[in-house]
Amino acid sequence: MTVEQDIEALDQFPVGMRVLAVDDDQTCLRILQTLLHRCQYHVTTTNQAQTALELLRENKNRFDLVISDVDMPDMDGFKLLELVGLEMDLPVIMLSAHSDPKYVMKGVKHGACDYLLKPVRIEELKNIWQHVVRKGKLKKKTSSVSNGGEYGGDSDHNGVRANRKRKDQFEEEAEEEERGNENDDPTAPKKPRVVWTRELHNKFLVAVDHLGVKEAVPKKILDMMNVDKLTRENVASHLQKFRVALKKITDEANQQANMAAIDSHFMQMSSLKGFGSFHHNHHHHHRQIGSGQYHNGATAMRHYPSNMTLGRLDSLAGRFPNVSSSLPRNHNDGGYILQGLPMASPSLTSQQSSLMASPSNLLLLNGQPQTSPPSLNPGFSPRFDINKRLDQWSNAALSTNIPQSDVHSKPDALEWNLLNSNLDTNPTTFCTNTDFGSSNAAQANCFEIQRREHGIEEGLCMGQQKQQSGFMASDAGSLNDIVNSIMTKEESQAEFSEGDLGFGWFSPLRTCI
Amino acid sequence: MQRQVALVKQSLFDQGYLDEQFMELEDLQDDANPNFVEEVATLYFKDSARLINNIDQALERGSFDFNRLDSYMHQFKGSSTSIGASKVKTECTMFREYCRAGNAEGCLRTFQQLKKEHATLRKKLEHYFQMARQAGPKETARRPK
């Protein structure tokens, strides 16, 4: 749909809501189709779950809602439900002639927004649009969005707004529940919360990393993690958030246009104090802070805005010499800092890289060009922050994410805020962790990781500018994860207490806020 | 003619061949979907004929894979419910009970009954639709809203 069409559709919502109906029974499908038409939805039908998946994968934004039968010959309806939830994060309603509570429970656990019994009545279908709103999938291109409604997964623009909203919400509320996009299906029974501690999360990351993004399905992840009392559903919802965060990062990365000289600047400065300065208004999108060089390096960095510090360090390394350019005060995202670094000195050798590594770490942390550009506050301990953030994100995620249908934004926002606050308040902590002497090695690792991750970073680039704190948080979280996994691989984590350098790099994310 | 059509339909309901759900379907019929009910019924009979065949074969094999039979029947029941085929639905339920109890003989018996009901309904509906078509589209009685 074009933007105009989208807007129109939104204005008339729920009229025109795009539903994908899946049922192997032709009779039921036909009836369902007509019922949905009666409700004035736009209906696409298929009697094969596989086809449905293909349709969805082809264009995630083509549908607002999926209704699927449970018993289907080519694929279990629950499996489809899970996949849709994970990959596309669309609300899914289950349909079945089974009224057995066990099935209903299973549906809910697999993330169904609702479970309807056949024969479906039109009255029930008339209200299903609520699930789209709940999931915050209501894509609005305008800024006047209902509370929590603008998830806008399909465009960074929306994402930014969503982030902003989340961030605002977060700032208002305690770090506990995120209410904005909270998708709390009232019918979903409360499950005991699993706290995704750092350790747990690390395991998760290791598993995901090991399996590869494509193969990382909850069951396998669960098996690899080998944690007692952890259920597949826990993993599934966690993975869901992770993927969403990943996606955001990817989207954001593509937005990065701003390589800040600040980054390089920061690199030189090992003082993290600069961090504060970077805390520039984040609303600006990519500011070209540095020279055009930034551009190239920046891309890499950008991709990382906060999470993928790895990549940034990489580019940073190359940029080091030019770091001296004035810190781009207006650099919005912490990530830029790093990004700028690489730009600055393309000629940096690996040695420089390592050198840069340190400062870059700091830079990342700082990401705040504004205050005192040249001074990176070594005391900054992004790492700690990140770790904290991660935990908090985990907690937040967990606390808010009982039903699978939770929206991911919350944990992210939480994380972000936490990170921000952390960064702001503990500028010196970082130093302890990243003393260059010891951290060099780690950093070298980091660099490697970065390099390796560079590719990932690209994809994960977060549009710092665009992102609101909430968004950043999510990125940070996910990046943390990514970094974590990377770090794990590189065994660099051994060198760090908790906050791998990678984490430290998250701090720049914060600046984006 | 119109009255006849209405009467025929009414008798179907009275005799329990059809239930509320059929009326729901009729509600969905409108100018955009003038033959909706008949279309759905046609789909149903096509589908169910296939299912009946499958079940027949499964039963003839004599292996009595109750799980598989139950699964077939679940499907059958689903679509029967959707069009409001009341008696057929009842037989489905009974069949599944026998399946769960592992009662092969009960399954066989019920299945025969089911086929009978199914065939009867089919005939009656075909007759009804034919009359309705003859009487003209407006003749399809609608439930007062």
Q: Please say whether the beta carbons of A404 and A110 come within 8 A.
A: yes
**What confidence category does residue A198 fall into, taking pLDDT thresholds of 50, 70 and 90?**
confident
CATH of the domain at B115: 1.20.120.160
Give residue B99's pLDDT.
87
Asked whether the predicted pLDDT for residue A378 surpasses 60, the reply is no
Q: Please say whether the beta carbons of A211 and A201 come within 8 A.
A: no
Helix (H) or strand (E) holding A388, with range, is helix A382-400
From chain B, the residues in CB contact with A71 under 8 A are: 71, 74-75, 78
DSSP state at residue A176? S
Asked whether the predicted pLDDT for residue A236 surpasses 70, the reply is yes
Dihedral Cα A466, A469, A470, A471, nearest 10 deg: 30
CA distance B48 to B37: 16
Domain assignment present for B145: no
Instruction: List, for residues A56-74, the tens digit of each pLDDT value.
Output: 988 878 888 999 998 888 8
Asked whether the predicted pLDDT for residue A162 surpasses 80, the reply is no
Mean pLDDT of chain A: 59
Give residue B116's pLDDT.
93
Give residue A215's pLDDT.
79
**What confidence category does residue A11 fall into, taking pLDDT thresholds of 50, 70 and 90?**
low
CA distance B145 to A510: 59
Give residue A94's pLDDT.
92
Give residue B42's pLDDT.
92
Give residue A480's pLDDT.
52
Higher local confidence (pLDDT), A14 or A112: A112
For B77, which residue in chain A has the nearest alpha carbon? A97
For A34, which residue in chain B has the nearest alpha carbon? B28
Domain assignment present for B51: yes
Give the angle subtended at the CA of A23 by the CAs of A12 and B101, to the nearest 5°. 135
Q: What average pLDDT does range A92-98 have in this prediction?
A: 88
**What confidence category does residue A42 fall into, taking pLDDT thresholds of 50, 70 and 90?**
very high
Cβ of A38 within 8 Å of Cβ of B28? The answer is yes
From chain A, the residues in CB contact with B27 under 8 A are: 122
* pLDDT-above-90 percentage for chain A: 6
Domain A18-140 class, CATH top level = alpha beta
Give residue A325's pLDDT.
41
CA distance A313 to A311: 5
Give residue B112's pLDDT.
92
Residues of chain B with pLDDT under 70: 137-145
From chain A, the residues in CB contact with B75 under 8 A are: 24-25, 71
Domain assignment present for B8: yes
Give residue A405's pLDDT.
40
Highest mean pLDDT among A4-13, A122-131, A138-147, A406-415: A122-131
Give residue B49's pLDDT.
92
Domain assignment present for B30: no
CA–CA min distance A146, chain B (Å): 33
Q: Rg (Cα) of chain B, in Å, rounded?
A: 17
* pLDDT-above-70 percentage for chain A: 36
CA distance A181 to A413: 11
The partner residue sitting opposite A28, judged by closest CB among B32, B74, B78, is B78
Give residue A363's pLDDT.
38
CA distance A238 to A242: 6
Instruction: List, for residues A245-265, the tens digit of each pLDDT value.
Output: 877 777 777 766 555 555 555
Asked whether the predicted pLDDT for residue A274 surpasses 70, the reply is no
Higher local confidence (pLDDT), A203 or A431: A203
- Residues on A contacting B at a C-beta cutoff of 8 Å: 24-28, 30-31, 34-35, 37-38, 71, 96-98, 118-119, 121-122
CA distance B118 to B115: 5
**What confidence category does residue A287 fall into, taking pLDDT thresholds of 50, 70 and 90?**
very low
DSSP state at residue B18? B
Q: Please say whether the beta carbons of A289 and A369 come within 8 A.
A: yes
- Which residue is listed with tokens 């208004």? A281
The partner residue sitting opposite A35, judged by closest CB among B28, B71, B84, is B28
CA–CA min distance B47, chain A (Å): 7
Give residue B32's pLDDT.
81
Q: What average pLDDT does range A472-481 have in this prediction?
A: 46
Instruction: List, for residues A128-152, the tens digit of each pLDDT value.
Output: 888 888 877 555 433 344 444 444 4
Q: Please say whether the beta carbons of A338 and A447 come within 8 A.
A: no
B90 three-state secondary structure: helix
Instruction: List, for residues A206-228, the tens digit of each pLDDT value.
Output: 888 888 877 778 888 888 888 87
CA–CA min distance A403, chain B (Å): 28
Asked whether the predicted pLDDT for residue A411 surpasses 60, the reply is no
Cβ of B75 within 8 Å of Cβ of A71? The answer is yes
Residue B130: domain span:
1-22+35-135
For A30, which residue in chain B has the nearest alpha carbon? B40
CA distance A246 to A263: 23
Cβ of B78 within 8 Å of Cβ of A25? The answer is yes
Asked whether the predicted pLDDT for residue A308 surpasses 90, the reply is no
CA distance B86 to B98: 19
The total number of structural domains in chain B stands at 1
Cβ-based contacts under 8 A for chains A and B: 55
Give residue A22's pLDDT.
93
From chain A, the residues in CB contact with B84 under 8 A are: 119
Asked whether the predicted pLDDT for residue A88 surpasses 60, the reply is yes
Cβ of A27 within 8 Å of Cβ of B74? The answer is no
**In the structure encoding, which two tokens stand for residue A216, read together?**
């990382």
- Which residue is listed with tokens 């995704």? A196
Q: What average pLDDT does range A490-502 have in this prediction?
A: 42
Domain boundaries, chain A: 18-140
CA distance A215 to B85: 44
> Mutate which of A22, A31, A37 to test chain B, going by most B C-beta atoms within 10 A?
A31
Give residue A345's pLDDT.
40
The partner residue sitting opposite B75, judged by closest CB among A25, A30, A34, is A25
Q: A130 Cβ partners below 8 Å, 6+ apart? A: none
The ipTM estimated for the assembled molecules is 0.87
For A37, which residue in chain B has the nearest alpha carbon? B28
The partner residue sitting opposite B82, judged by closest CB among A24, A71, A119, is A119
Cβ of A31 within 8 Å of Cβ of B25? The answer is yes
H helices within A73-197, ranges in order?
A: 77-83, 101-109, 122-126, 129-134, 156-172
